Chain A
Amino acid sequence: MSDIMIEFRNLTKRYGALLANDHVNLQVKRGELMTLLGPSGCGKTTALRGLTGYVKPDEGQILIDDKDVTNLPTHQRQLGMVFQNFALFPHMTVWDNVRFPLMIRGVSKQDSEPKVREALQLIRLEGLSDRYPRQLSGGQQQRVGLARALVYRPNVLLLDEPLSNLDAKLREEMRFEIRDLQRRLGITAIYVTHDQQEALALSDRVAIMNSGHIEQVGTPEEIYEHPRSKFVADFIGLSDFIPATVESYDAQTARIVVAGVALTAPAVEGLAREQKILLFIRPNDVELALEAAGENVLPGTIRQATYLGDRIDYRVQIHDGIEVRVQTAGTQRLAEGARVFAHLPVARCRLIREE
């Protein structure tokens, strides 16, 4: 028994000229919650549908528990799935909805009763078992969906944007509930979403997808702190990308020039002299001061200051066409039009090649 539960090998799917999945390779470990994160149309849903068998891949294989399931029909894959629009059976009560996977597997009424009861307890909806889905709120419906997916203890739990039809407060609540259930049951899960907050809060690991391929796989920290491409950096959190030119470099650091000012940043692989490159930094890592002090400082003018309550958002013009966005704590207030110096801490800077 290997510790890889799900594996995509070179999964490829075309819709006409559109390449929905372009040689996707991904391994999900046993008991892990892996999130497929990306904008709509990035291929995350196609990959998930490949796993359920609803989409037949053009090339590649899908393995569940070391078994090739690429050609196995959906109903034989032993999966549990929670859907974006809940997809409860509208003509069945909550109880019958949850019992459905057991009924299909030929479990008798008596034998299934404790299991259904337990599943309903898990999601705290025991009292509503005689209701029909339309009589439930969105959050309750999604809980029923969760119970239905878990009732027969599948090997794998799939969640397809399960929270996107819920309101913001409920979304946060359910996020923890899902995470908690998944941990407690130790079930392997794949979670598809376009919401980066959700991905960071929930996942053991995140796979970021863009136009059919996986850009980067890693823990939420890795993804946020060390994005490997502009797309990843841009997709997760706020980012500044400052165009720069490489002047010199060694194994540890690189000297770059932005609008005539020399700066230092940690070196990355594959640098070359005179190369055009992007200096990436998070707006809340930049510090603003009225006087120049220390190294890695860019002079500029505050063009716009926006009050956001807990912080203030500044747009600082460094040079024609170069603008840096800075977010500082709400305690420091600078006027629009003020001459400022933006300090970019070396450790927070990263060089990213332009795509």
Chain B
Amino acid sequence: MLQTWRKYEHNATTWLLLLPAFASFFGLFAYPILVTLIQSFRPEGQADGFTFENYINFLSDPRGRDVIVLTFVLAIGTTFFSLLFSIPLALILRDKVRGHRFFRLLALIPLMVPGLIGALGLLLFFGSRGWFNLAAQALPFVTEPLTINYTLQGLMLFYVWLYFPYTALTTLSALEGLDRAVEEAGAVAGANPRQVLRYLIIPQIIPGVLAGSVLTFMTAFGAFSIPLITGGDYRPLSVQIYKEISSFIPAHWSAASAMAIVMGILQVAALTLYMRLLRQRQVR
């Protein structure tokens, strides 16, 4: 009897410790989403009522679909180019080349510095009077300043700038987790450096790298400050949602809510799919 009580008491304490965490989870996350969900079924500007109009309007509008496509293009493209850039970077940095600590620190900067400032700096750097164009125009075949700001390619570049560190750091830590003796064993067995990379290093780190690139995908999908400032006419979902509220008086709360719900569902669906693919790879 006493023992049962003790056990009960023990469990009760555990749940009591978790209470604040769940309070914040429900109060600041779950409940707001519920409110958004309810709002998304309200006719615009009314306090009650039920309608699917907000979803239908958004999803049937070709511009609405373009926004979704753009969001995916940016997220997937960013993930791809981050991988393309991070793997060589991590391979170089793991060899502890001279100054590798400095370059490691550099890879952290986009994570630590407010995204807004990164965006502003990139706009200045790639602008028509920025250093990039000054350098480019020193080349013989470049006569006009290259337009990078407010183009899709430019936006993608800025995204990669801001979000590659997730991929780079996980790639680096995956590489550093490898047993170097395995590569030595490969070399002794007759594999040249390219074969060691292809048959031994890449297959070993790929699960970790892909898991890390999920973070890049996730944050790129939800990116807000960068496209808000540097996107120009390219507005992914997050910016479009904000515009529904900020550019109209009264604000389009219902339309924005419907978009937010769509965005949340797409994000969760994409993540689940990605994770499932990853698991399958690992099981195999």
Contact = CB atoms under 8 A, between A and B. Distances in A.
- Is A–B contact present in the complex under a CB 8 A cutoff? yes
Interface of A: 52-54, 73-81, 83-85, 87-91, 100-101, 103-105, 145, 148-149, 152, 158
A167 to B, nearest CB: 21
B192 A73 contact: yes
Contacts of A83: 181, 184-185
Nearest to B183: A87
A163 to B, nearest CB: 16
A145 B184 CA distance: 13
A150 B179 CA distance: 22
B186 to A, nearest CB: 7
Interface in B186-227: 186-193, 195, 199-200, 203-204
A149 B186 CA distance: 10
A101 B192 CA distance: 11
A87 B184 contact: yes
A73 B204 CA distance: 23
Contacts of B203: 91
A78 B182 contact: no
B195 A104 contact: yes
Nearest to A105: B190
A68 to B, nearest CB: 19
A148 B189 contact: yes
B189 A101 contact: yes
What 7 A-B pairs are tightest by C-beta distance, nearest first?
A87-B181, A74-B187, A101-B189, A87-B185, A81-B188, A104-B190, A104-B191
Nearest to B188: A81
Interface in B132-190: 179, 181-182, 184-190
A152 B189 CA distance: 9
A63 to B, nearest CB: 18
Contact of B184 (A54, A77, A152): A54
Contact of B192 (A75, A88, A90, A91): A75
B200 A89 contact: yes
A47 to B, nearest CB: 15
Contact of A78 (B184, B185, B190): B190
Contacts of A101: 189-190
A222 to B, nearest CB: 31
Contacts of A152: 190
A89 B199 CA distance: 10
B11 to A, nearest CB: 36
A75 B184 contact: no
Contacts of B190: 75-76, 78, 101, 104-105, 152
A103 B190 CA distance: 10
B182 A88 contact: yes
Contact of B191 (A52, A53, A75, A88): A75
